[in-house]
Amino acid sequence: MASLKKVIRIAAPPGAVHRALTDPAALRVWLAEHAEVELPNRYEFWGRFTPNGGAAHQRLRHADDSSLRFDWELDGQPTTVDIGLAADSGDGGSTLLTLTHTGIIGWPEVLTETGDRGLMHTYWTLSLANLADYAEGREPSPRCDFTTTTFRCEILIDADRQAVYDSMTDPEQASRWFGVKLENELEPGGRWAMGGFEANPDPARIVDIQPGQSLSIDWGGDMVESWELADSDGHTRLTYVHSGFDETNPPFSGWLGALSGLAELRRFHEVKNWRSRWVEVRLDGLPFELVTND
């Protein structure tokens, strides 16, 4: 069994973050379709935005003003989630949230094994990004619907279209906001290597590119990632799609990772003096050189 750890900086005081974590109405906005909380006895969430969400599978073990601990049955196996909140001494008014999840699947097994435990790395990245946006008064990003194999979303970014395009295709900029090293060759048939060319000798390939407007990438295994940018009343509308995959085994982990990346892309353009929220990201077995926290 493996574990993960994520530390995220949220520009809101600990009390506000705690309310967002424990108010069932708030949870229904940023985390789950359904949520019921009765501290210190009950902390449950389920529905279409939750892996194995047909029913609640959480059991609360501990809750106070600065921490939560609950068991979560995934793939018929027990796992445990711990969440802790602390005031960020280096950034007045902010909160450092630390989440650990034990009993899951580590790297590189998450790339090949199916099951809900293999989703937790990207599931929590998206969920915590949405928690941070909610606590900071920003609109959360689209959530992953585990009841459909249609992977399509639209987001509106308060930035110029060319600036958004450059930030998605320039390796230096994209590596900063996505948090993973990128190297690419911006031409049809060119390589698109997450982790860099050396670490990724069999990278994705660019299928189509329209400078300033759109890009399509073939990830192999009949999975194509496509995005298109359009001007929209002084903003940029980004339409993002994953297609061509085996619908009997949909790549939810990759879609979760893409959605969490789009959440940070929006912040990259809209937050003054942007810096990555992520203070620490660990998954057992994940090579440190793949992560590029700013």
pLDDT tens digit sequence for 114-140:
789 999 999 999 999 999 999 999 999
For residue 288, pLDDT beyond 90: no
Residues 119 and 165 grouped into a single domain: no
Domain shared by 6 and 127, yes or no: yes
Domain contains 139: yes
pTM above 0.75, yes or no: yes
Domain that holds residue 160: 151-246
**43 plus 125 within the same structural domain:** yes
Q: What one-character-per-residue DSSP string does 197-242 give?
A: TTT-SS-EEEEEEETTTEEEEE-STT-EEEEEEEEETTEEEEEEEE
> Does residue 210 belong to any structural domain of this protein?
yes
Between CA 233 and CA 241 the distance in angstroms is 22
Give alpha helix (H) positions in 101-186: 120-135, 161-169, 171-178
CA pair distance 101, 274, nearest whole angstrom: 28
Same domain, 138 and 15: yes
What are the tens digits of pLDDT across the range 168-209? 999 999 999 998 899 999 999 999 999 899 988 899 999 999
Closest Cα partner for 54 from 45, 62, 64, 66?
45
**162 and 122 in a common domain:** no
Residues in the chain, overall count: 294
* Proportion of the chain above pLDDT 70, given as a percent: 97
Q: Is the predicted pLDDT of residue 271 greater than 90, yes or no?
A: yes
Q: Does residue 222 lie within any of the structural domains?
A: yes
Asked whether residue 261 is assigned to any structural domain, the reply reads no
* Exposed / middle / buried, residue 172 (Cβ in 10 Å: 0-12, 13-18, 19+): exposed
In a domain, 251, yes or no: no
Answer yes or no: do 225 and 163 share one domain: yes
Whether 254 is in a domain gets the answer: no
Is residue 30 in a domain? yes
Residues 137, 182: one domain? no
Phi, psi at 257, each rounded to 5°: -65, -40
State whether 20 and 133 are in the same domain.
yes
Q: Are residues 91 and 161 in the same domain?
A: no
Q: What would the mean pLDDT of 139-160 be, rounded to a whole number?
A: 96
Same domain, 56 and 167: no
The total of other beta-carbon atoms located within 10 Å of residue 89's CB is: 8
The predicted-structure confidence for 200-237, as pLDDT tens digits, reads as follows 889 999 999 999 999 999 998 778 999 999 999 999 99
| Domain-embedded: residue 16 | yes
Higher pLDDT, 110 or 270: 270
What is the domain-level CATH number for residue 191?
3.30.530.20
**pLDDT for position 83:** 98
Q: Which residues partner with 155 through β-bridges?
A: 238
**Quick one: 104 and 194 in the same domain?**
no
Residues 166 and 88 in one domain: no
In the predicted model, is pLDDT for residue 294 greater than 60? Answer: no
How many domains, the chain? 2
